Amino acid sequence: MAVVIVNVLNLPFPHSANTLKLVCYFTNWAQYRDGPARFLPDNVDPHLCTHLMFAFAIISHGNKLVASDWNDDVLYKSFNALKTRNPKLKTLLSVKGQDTDSAKFSEMMSSSYARQQFIQSSIRLLRAYGFDGLDLAWQGPAFQGRPPEDRRRFTLLCKELVEAYEAESKASGYPRLMISAAVAAKRNVIFISYDVPQISQYLDFISVLTFGFHGSEEGLTNHHSPLYSGEHQTGESLYYNVNSAILYWKEQGAPVEKLLMGFPTFGRSFLLTSTVTGLGAPTRSSTVAGPYTQEIGLWSNYEICSFLKGATVEWIDNQRVPYAVKGRGWVGFDNQTSYYYKVQYLMEHKLGGAVVWTLDLDDFSGEFCSQGSSPLIRYLKTQLENGKTLHE
């Protein structure tokens, strides 16, 4: 099927009100990339997003919220200084709960005393550097071997954070620190990990990370962030899409106005093992890293722009996303057309906004895609503003 380019710039949206949240992640490891891919707070347009997330802080063995990198204190200052150029901007510090950090999260949540150690340390750190809140980036409490009790303890953590932040606000006179969570999008993880109605009471917003559904480990080509399921999918993979994730969070009791939908500025790449190039084509278990990001199977938007030169681009009509093939290379990615359909979905379901992973993976300098700086995020911002829907 040939690629379909839709003129989406002037199509109407079904709802209107005020402005949605546009939450964008900044990663402290992007400073180590080479040349034009190096990304620092100085590269951030403070008017692009409504909320900025600094990724990541970590939890120490003493259950304290601490910086993860050697120069984070310097980056924290320049990151929060962006608010001098946009006083409406909100900044949050995101604490990582994946991989080896998952054990530290579990340990911290294991008792009321340990949770209070973390909570009080978070207040000190957030206030010291001028953050407006805390983001809990743990996509799997009670999942993959973690204690089943972590589901209940995560709810207690959210509750106790709110109580402590409200008390601190009353005592200090400062606005209450915000609390958000970056959560899983796969149904089996959601069911095991979260008491959705309970945590929804305490969180200011919930970022559903609706991407990364598929990767090269599966041995078959698949788009990692499709809007809907595809005809080629069966079993559990029928639910590996944006629509299924959002509907499941809603069905489990999350208020739609607190749900943010994930928008990736990256694609997932595959190495084909035959001349078959469509969805479900056989692939190797590993693939090449992007020349700048150096992450196996993950290519930034600007790396994809380079790949698209001379590539064949196809549109997956029933999933509303594109992929591209060149030689043995295959990449499923997002472009402005797929973003349009996702924003339309977001509006139709009256969600609270969008969450972007990440600022540094878009073509922030405008050097690669010939579409201006941060073309995907800037387009997303425009579409959200055109939709005029605000959920405070």
pLDDT digits (tens, 9 = 90+) for 54-104: 999 999 999 999 999 999 999 999 999 999 999 999 999 999 976 667 889
Strands 205-208 and 312-316: unpaired
What is the distance in angstroms between the CA of the first residue and the CA of the last residue of the chain?
42
- The C-alpha atoms of residue 244 and residue 351 are separated, in whole angstroms, by 14
- Say yes or no to pLDDT of 358 above 50: yes
Q: What is the pLDDT of residue 230?
A: 87
Of residues 19, 21, 13, 17, the one with CA closest to residue 348: 13
Residue 287 lies in a domain: no
CATH number of the domain residue 131 falls in: 3.20.20.80
Average pLDDT over residues 362-383: 97
- The C-alpha atoms of residue 18 and residue 313 are separated, in whole angstroms, by 36
Look up tokens 């939450």; give the residue: 23
Strands 65-67 and 259-264: unpaired
- Say yes or no to pLDDT of 377 above 80: yes
Residue 32 lies in a domain: yes
Q: What is the pLDDT of residue 392?
A: 32
Residue 302 lies in a domain: no
Look up tokens 């983001």; give the residue: 135
Instruction: Give the number of domains in the chain.
Output: 1
Q: What is the pLDDT of residue 2?
A: 41
Average pLDDT over residues 3-28: 63
- Say yes or no to pLDDT of 9 above 50: no
- Say yes or no to pLDDT of 288 above 60: yes
Residue 183 lies in a domain: yes
Q: What is the pLDDT of residue 373?
A: 98
- pLDDT-derived band of residue 4, with 50, 70 and 90 as boundaries? very low
Considering only residues 138 and 372, tell me which one the structure prediction assigns the higher pLDDT. 372
Q: What is the pLDDT of residue 28?
A: 97
- For Cα atoms 265, 266, 271, give the angle at the middle one, nearest 5 degrees: 165
162, HSE (Cβ side, Cα atoms, 13 Å): 15
Average pLDDT over residues 128-153: 91
Considering only residues 217 and 101, tell me which one the structure prediction assigns the higher pLDDT. 217
Average pLDDT over residues 326-343: 97
Q: What is the pLDDT of residue 388?
A: 53
The sign of the CA dihedral 241, 245, 251, 255 is negative
Q: Which domain holds residue 135?
A: 21-264+334-387
Consecutive H or E run containing 234:
none
Q: What is the pLDDT of residue 246?
A: 98
Mean per-residue pLDDT over the chain, rounded: 92
Average pLDDT over residues 34-51: 97
- Say yes or no to pLDDT of 281 above 60: yes
Residue 305 lies in a domain: no
- Say yes or no to pLDDT of 1 above 60: no
- Say yes or no to pLDDT of 299 above 80: yes
Helix axes 72-80, 112-129, angle to 10 degrees: 60
Phi, psi at 264, each rounded to 5°: -85, 140
List pLDDT tens digits, range 107-136. 999 999 999 999 999 999 999 999 999 999
- The C-alpha atoms of residue 148 and residue 192 are separated, in whole angstroms, by 8
**Cβ atoms within 10 A of the Cβ of 172, count?**
11
- The C-alpha atoms of residue 238 and residue 241 are separated, in whole angstroms, by 8
Average pLDDT over residues 379-386: 96
Residue 133 lies in a domain: yes
Of residues 298, 306, 180, 196, the one with CA closest to residue 246: 196
What's the residue count for the chain? 392
- pLDDT-derived band of residue 17, with 50, 70 and 90 as boundaries? very low
Of residues 85, 254, 79, 275, the one with CA closest to residue 183: 254
- pLDDT-derived band of residue 18, with 50, 70 and 90 as boundaries? low
- The C-alpha atoms of residue 147 and residue 141 are separated, in whole angstroms, by 8
Average pLDDT over residues 198-227: 96
Residue 37 lies in a domain: yes
Among 70-79, 137-146, 189-198, 303-312, name the one with the lowest average pLDDT.
Answer: 137-146
